[in-house]
Chain A
Amino acid sequence: MNIFRVSADILHLLSILVLLLKIHATKSCAGISLKTQELYLAVFVTRYLDLFWNFHSLYNSVFKVVYIATSSMIIWYMKRHRGVKQTYDKDHDTFRYLFLIVPCAVLALIVNGRFSLFEILWTFSIYLEAVAILPQLVLLQRTKNVDNLTGNYVFLLGLYRAFYILNWIYRYATEPHYSAWIVWLSGLVQTGLYLDFFYYYLQAWKQSKKLQLPS
């Protein structure tokens, strides 16, 4: 465990909490993609299946439970909460998530560490996490005006990925047999997807203006 890894996990948790807080406090989920949230829940569930029999550390187990619980809560708010569900931007959130799920599943069947059910599900979750933000980015692009909390949510998520890359570099340099190229490549793709967003986020921040994405 190193400082980059811990920072990454905390940033990830913070991003989810910012989103939950926004929904809870404003009773609105405007600008949030339900598709992305559902994909993240699928990522967590398929990756953390081993929660019950593979105990690695209390740290890992607590985070796994918290990630599954908090993303379920977000989905519950968006689909079931009487006030919040009315603010859901259904007409703009039209990304077909099968376009992401099917290729990731096929890729996981072909490129994996070992051909077994749990290994393939785990690998699927790595690929799916890399692209799960796409419906959210498309929604932001369509609605253009991004409120501060939604902007902060996506920014913190991107930052979390950047810190994972620093963690991999650190581990590669300090641990003798550390290698996991499937995870690295997926992580690079995932972080790359945020670069464009980062640019506009930082521009808006520097000029202390509201974040607006170009069409």
Chain B
Amino acid sequence: GPVEAAKDEL
């Protein structure tokens, strides 16, 4: 998705 993958970043 456009954001999901980055949810583990700060």
* Chain B 1-10 near chain A by CB (<8 Å), digits 1 or 0: 1111111111
A→B interface (CB under 8 Å): 5, 9, 12, 56-57, 60, 63-64, 67, 111-113, 119, 122-123, 126, 164, 167, 171, 175, 177-183
B→A interface (CB under 8 Å): 1-10
A63, A67, A164, A179: which has the most chain B beta carbons within 10 Å? A179
Interface of A is mostly: helix
Chain A contacts of B8 at CB under 8 A? 56-57, 60
Contact, CB under 8 Å: B5 / A182: no
Contact, CB under 8 Å: A183 / B3: yes
Separation of A94 and B9 alpha carbons in the complex (Å): 32
Contact, CB under 8 Å: A113 / B5: no
Chain B contacts of A60 at CB under 8 A? 8, 10
Nearest CB to that of A168 among chain B residues? B6
Separation of A183 and B4 alpha carbons in the complex (Å): 10
For A113, give its contact among B4, B9, B10 (CB under 8 Å): B4
Chain A contacts of B10 at CB under 8 A? 9, 12, 60, 63-64, 67
